[in-house]
Amino acid sequence: MNASVSDYAGEADLRAMQELTSRLWSPAARWHVGDLAWGRFQHTGREPEWPTRLWRAGERVVAWGWIELPDQLNLAVDPAYDGHGLADEVLDWFAATAPGVRRTVTVLDSETHLLAALARHGYQDAGDGLPFVVNMSHDLRDLAEPEPSPGYRLRTVDAADVPGRVATHRAAFHPSRVTEESYRNVRGAWPYRADLDWIAEAPDGEVAAYCLIWLDPARRAAEIEPVGTVPAHRHRGLARAVCLAALHAARNAGATRAVVGPRGDDDYPVPARLYRGLGFHDITRSRLLHS
Ligand SMILES: CC(C)(COP(=O)(O)OP(=O)(O)OC[C@H]1O[C@@H](n2cnc3c(N)ncnc32)[C@H](O)[C@@H]1OP(=O)(O)O)[C@@H](O)C(=O)NCCC(=O)NCCS
């Protein structure tokens, strides 16, 4: 097709990528605007590893590709424009930018237009037995009340909490590349809202658990990303309580639905168990394909 192509040139382009992401959003979509904000800002100094390109029809972004060198591609393609070979253009660019490696792409079962393009380009399903992600959704009309364990306090973060909030993330996701600088960048990214960034504070003042929610106001869709509890405070209902507090805040801010994408395989079952216990149900799952 006659899409104009441009390489990523800063945060205005991230907003343009988020516009397409919001337009394509459904509970079965791979991307939520929060994924892009969190994914692009949770670390610093990665830009040289991330060739990123946008395809536009007129002013409107109709596809984007975000390569994570050496071998991974993230992409979104508007199915309404897919008949013009747009997904093929993104995959050709990936092959030219990451030559000589076994290239990998993760898509959802629901992204049939991308699965068809990947098949045309010779990509194969990496098969069963590998980690995968399950997309889950929750209608927020029916939301349980948060019940924190005795002695813990649920509240939103403020600037003074940044060191503790980052230390908790690093302990939960050890090893982690999130730093105080990168988390401050996350807090500056659209559509971050401090009123949707919740912590469970332990009796000694430590941040024991947290849940960050992103709200896409155009779709009234909230996304949980990420959640963590420090190991010493786990299995006390803190993740459940802090997620429920954040989900209530998201509903008060206008969200009607929430989504989350935990691991779906049996080797890492606790997050999916947490979200199912909150009322989330499975929508679709990811597939890893390689060239
Ligand atoms: C996932 C995580 C946030 C859970 O935190 P937590 O505070 O221990 O969770 P909760 O105590 O609220 O328990 C939530 C559910 O998980 C279950 N659970 C918690 N720890 C468990 C364990 N070690 N084994 C089995 N089940 C467990 C609870 O029984 C509860 O299930 P239920 O609702 O069916 O009763 C925590 O393990 C963590 O930080 N993991 C690393 C980061 C991560 O993977 N985050 C999620 C990314 S999507």
Return the bridge partners of 223, or none: 214, 259
State yes or no: pLDDT of 8 exceeds 90: yes
Query: Mean pLDDT of all residues in the chain?
Result: 97
pLDDT value at residue 233: 98
Residues enclosing ligand 1, CB less than 6 A?
Answer: 172-173, 209, 226-229, 234-240, 262, 270-271, 273-274, 277
Ligand 1 pocket test, pick from 235, 247, 259, 276 with the greatest ligand atom count within 8 Å of Cβ, gives 235
Phi, psi of 257 (to 5 degrees): -145, 150
State yes or no: pLDDT of 220 exceeds 70: yes
pLDDT in tens, 27-83: 999 999 999 999 999 999 999 999 999 999 999 999 999 999 999 999 999 999 877
Residues 54 and 158 in one domain: no
What confidence category does residue 253 fall into, taking pLDDT thresholds of 50, 70 and 90?
Answer: very high
CA of 270 to the centre of ligand 1 (A): 5
pLDDT in tens, 158-176: 999 999 999 999 999 999 9
Q: How many domains does the chain have?
A: 2
Q: What is the helix (H) or strand (E) element at residue 5, kind and residue range? A: strand 4-7
Residues 98 and 175 in one domain: no
Nearest-atom number in ligand 1 for the CA of 268 is 44
Question: Using CA atoms, how far apart are residues 257 and 261, in angstroms rounded to an integer?
Answer: 14
Residues 125 and 190 in one domain: no
pLDDT value at residue 243: 98
pLDDT value at residue 3: 85
State yes or no: pLDDT of 95 exceeds 70: yes
pLDDT value at residue 1: 58
Question: Does residue 264 lie within any of the structural domains?
Answer: no
> For residue 219, what is the domain's CATH number?
3.40.630.30
The stretch 13-34 carries a mean pLDDT of: 98
CA of 196 to the centre of ligand 1 (A): 20
CA of 229 to the centre of ligand 1 (A): 8
pLDDT value at residue 83: 78
Question: Does residue 175 lie within any of the structural domains?
Answer: yes
Residues 83 and 156 in one domain: no
Question: Does residue 95 lie within any of the structural domains?
Answer: yes
pLDDT value at residue 39: 98
Question: Strand, helix or coil at 281?
Answer: strand
Residues 69 and 180 in one domain: no
Question: Using CA atoms, how far apart are residues 60 and 23, in angstroms rounded to an integer?
Answer: 11
Residues 164 and 246 in one domain: yes
Residues 127 and 171 in one domain: no
Question: Does residue 289 lie within any of the structural domains?
Answer: no
Question: Does residue 271 lie within any of the structural domains?
Answer: no
CA of 146 to the centre of ligand 1 (A): 15
Question: Does residue 97 lie within any of the structural domains?
Answer: yes
Whose C-alpha lies nearest to ligand 1, atom 29? 235
Residue 24, classified by CB atoms within 10 Å of its CB into exposed (0-12), middle (13-18) or buried (19+), is middle
Residues 124 and 146 in one domain: no
Amino acid at 280: F
Residues 191 and 107 in one domain: no
Ligand 1 pocket test, pick from 212, 267, 270, 273 with the greatest ligand atom count within 8 Å of Cβ, gives 270
Domain membership of residue 44 as a residue range: 4-131
pLDDT value at residue 94: 98
Phi, psi of 97 (to 5 degrees): -90, -25
Residues 27-54: b if buried by 16+ CB within 10 A, e if exposed: bebbbbbbbbbbbbbbbeeeeeeebbbb
Nearest-atom number in ligand 1 for the CA of 242 is 12
Residues 228 and 125 in one domain: no
Whose C-alpha lies nearest to ligand 1, atom 26? 270
Question: Does residue 281 lie within any of the structural domains?
Answer: no
pLDDT in tens, 107-150: 999 999 999 999 999 999 998 889 999 999 999 999 999 999 99
Residues 120 and 153 in one domain: no
Question: Does residue 274 lie within any of the structural domains?
Answer: no
Nearest-atom number in ligand 1 for the CA of 230 is 39
Residues 15 and 103 in one domain: yes
Token pair 């403020």 is found at: 158
pLDDT in tens, 178-203: 999 999 999 999 999 999 999 999 99
Residue where one domain finishes, among candidates 82, 100, 131: 131
pLDDT value at residue 84: 79
pLDDT value at residue 251: 98
Closest among 211, 280, 239, 279 to 148, alpha carbons compared: 239
CA of 227 to the centre of ligand 1 (A): 10
State yes or no: pLDDT of 285 exceeds 90: yes
CA of 235 to the centre of ligand 1 (A): 6
